[in-house]
Amino acid sequence: MSALLNIAARRAPAGLRRAATSATSQIRHYSSPIDLRAVVNRRFLDEQKELQSLARAFADNEFAPKMQEWDENQHFPADVLRKGAELGFGGLYTREDVGGAGLTRLDTSIIFEALSTGCTSTTAYISIHNMCAWMIDSFGSEEQRQKYLPRLTSMEQFASYCLTEPGAGSDAGGLSTTAVKKGSHYVLNGSKAFISGGGSSDVYVIMARTGGPGPKGISCFIVEKGFKGLSFGKKENKLGWNSQPTRAVIMEDCEVPAENLVGVEGQGFSIAMKGLNGGRINIGSCSLGAAQASIEAAVEHVKVRKQFNQPLAHFQNTQFKLADMATSLLSSRLMIRQAAAMLDQGHPDVASYCAMAKLHSTDECFKIIDDSLQLHGGYGYLKDYKVNVFLRDARVHRILEGTNEVMRMVTSRAMLTE
């Protein structure tokens, strides 16, 4: 374990290590300098409630009636996504001049939670698309912003994030896709695994190695579908997340114009990790929505289902279970919102707080959904009921955007680094 920690620590970028160091004191002293008013303030009561109410209405009307069908048929609902983009879901935290909604990460978290009550898998894809748009918005050149973002925020085109490789998952800093500069182009070689939207997306934000080994040799590129040498693997058959296709993205002498380098050479891993801090909040938010919807389904079921001549809701076991589920959801939600507020504030300890929030919320919410399925009894195991979809969709949240084991690495590193 310590060897693994060392590898991870060595490969972590300097910025992350600095952040981790200062987090130590926060965790140790149980003190929080974070402005919690951002989590439970007056503004939430008004403005954010409106955002939440819009997202929940959209989820109830456009996602929820279709979720099971999309899951069953592995259907990617491009038309519904574009309808959502008309309301601003395509670029929630992208700036307004390129069609974004210009919201905060806390606003975004609240919206993703509400949307995923209708379809967790589809919302998770929206969150990935948003992360790509944010990367181009934050680190791209003005030309890149103007060229790509209007079509991404409108979801006229879809985006995918490509970091993971067949041989580099948790050890993302060890990725082996190469990018070699030849005249006005970079030539990319290698393959990316488990790419959400792979094959369906038009724009790929790809991390590839331009320099030596380790995180500092990695650069970030915008690669368009149709560039010479870019191809895709077979569509993967997955346990959940079925409303979005997953494929390998393969680069064989793939020619990428030099102007498609995002930021500067060697900045890629830093961009990737900054993206993932927010990505973890997004994925955690999707788990919150899945758990919320599962609790709502359980409450409905236990009031109607009768055994021993009374509704299940009359049994103390049911009551205590529901109370535990609600408590667990609330703790997860508070952690996610606190970490989101820290992202908005540019807090130096953001990496470890995002990691703890993601770890806690995705594990706890999965358990809540499982408990909801248990309260449904045999019906919960039937595909006619919705809980099984939430269970399968939320299961992967404990694996991706950094596994929950990596979340523990990030957190403990913050505690142990001198």
Partner 1 sequence: MSNNLRILVATKRVIDYAVKIRVNAAGTAVETANVKHSMNPFDEIGTEQAIQIKEGLEKAKTGKAEVVVVSCGPAKVQETLRTALAMGADRAIHVESNDELQPLAVAKVLKAIVEKEKPDLVILGKQAIDDDSNQTGQMLAGLLNWPQATFASKVELGEKAMTVTREVDGGVETIKTALPAILTTDLRLNTPRYASLPNIMKAKKKPLAKLTVAELGVDVKPRLEILKVAEPAKRQGGKMVESVDDLVDKLKNEAKVL
Active site residues: 401
Cβ atoms within 10 A of the Cβ of 53, count? Answer: 11
Contact between 89 and partner 1 by CB under 8 A: the answer reads: yes
Total length of the chain: 418
Decide: helix, strand or coil at residue 299: helix
Contact between 110 and partner 1 by CB under 8 A: the answer reads: no
Shortest separation between residue 84's beta carbon and partner 1, angstroms: 9
How many angstroms separate the CA atoms of 405 and 383, rounded?
Answer: 30
Shortest separation between residue 111's beta carbon and partner 1, angstroms: 8
Contact between 96 and partner 1 by CB under 8 A: the answer reads: yes
Which of the stretches 52-60, 170-178, 343-351, 399-407 binds partner 1 when contact is defined by CB under 8 A? 52-60
Among positions 103, 343, 373, 387, the unique one binding partner 1 when judged by CB under 8 A: 103
Decide: helix, strand or coil at residue 382: coil
Among positions 4, 36, 57, 382, the unique one binding partner 1 when judged by CB under 8 A: 57
Contact between 302 and partner 1 by CB under 8 A: the answer reads: no
Among positions 12, 20, 44, 58, the unique one binding partner 1 when judged by CB under 8 A: 58
Which of the stretches 48-56, 239-247, 312-320, 321-329 binds partner 1 when contact is defined by CB under 8 A? 48-56
From 328, 331, 395, 396, select the one nearest 368 (Cα to Cα): 328
Contact between 86 and partner 1 by CB under 8 A: the answer reads: yes
**Amino acid occupying residue 278:** G
Decide: helix, strand or coil at residue 243: coil
Phi, psi angle pair for 118, to nearest 5°? -90, -45
Contact between 194 and partner 1 by CB under 8 A: the answer reads: no
- Contact letters for partner 1, residues 307-346 (x by CB under 8 A): ----------------------------------------
Among positions 12, 34, 39, 51, the unique one binding partner 1 when judged by CB under 8 A: 51
Q: Write out the two tokens for 74.
A: 């592995």
Among positions 13, 67, 77, 88, the unique one binding partner 1 when judged by CB under 8 A: 88
Phi, psi angle pair for 192, to nearest 5°? -115, 135
Contact between 102 and partner 1 by CB under 8 A: the answer reads: yes
Residue 134 neighbours by CB under 8 Å, 6+ apart:
91, 93, 94, 275, 278
Shortest separation between residue 91's beta carbon and partner 1, angstroms: 10
Which residue number, 7 or 54, has a Cβ lying nearer to partner 1? 54
Which residue number, 69 or 296, has a Cβ lying nearer to partner 1? 296
How many angstroms separate the CA atoms of 66 and 214, rounded?
Answer: 44
Among positions 4, 36, 40, 87, the unique one binding partner 1 when judged by CB under 8 A: 87
Shortest separation between residue 136's beta carbon and partner 1, angstroms: 19
Cβ atoms within 10 A of the Cβ of 286, count? Answer: 32
Contact between 152 and partner 1 by CB under 8 A: the answer reads: no
Q: Using CA atoms of 265, 268, 269, 271 in order, give the dihedral in degrees to the nearest 10.
A: 130
Size of the site for partner 1 (CB under 8 A): 18
- Contact letters for partner 1, residues 6-45 (x by CB under 8 A): ----------------------------------------
Hunting for tokens 């403990």 — which residue is that?
412
Give exposure, 383-416, as e/b (b: 16+ Cβ within 10 Å): eebbbbbbbbbbbbbbebbbbbebbebbbbbbee
Contact between 54 and partner 1 by CB under 8 A: the answer reads: yes
Report the site for partner 1 in 235-294 (rule: CB under 8 A).
Answer: none
How many angstroms separate the CA atoms of 321 and 298, rounded?
Answer: 10
Which of the stretches 53-61, 188-196, 300-308, 313-321 binds partner 1 when contact is defined by CB under 8 A? 53-61
DSSP string computed for 64-85:
TTTHHHHHHHT---HHHHHHHH
Among positions 47, 72, 156, 253, the unique one binding partner 1 when judged by CB under 8 A: 47
Q: Cβ distance 355 to 342 under 8 Å?
A: no
Shortest separation between residue 162's beta carbon and partner 1, angstroms: 28
Shortest separation between residue 133's beta carbon and partner 1, angstroms: 14
Q: Cβ distance 222 to 140 under 8 Å?
A: yes
Q: Write out the two tokens for 14.
A: 């300097």
Q: Cβ distance 113 to 292 under 8 Å?
A: yes
Catalog residues that contact partner 1 under the rule CB under 8 A: 46-47, 50-51, 53-54, 57-58, 86-89, 92, 96, 101-103, 111
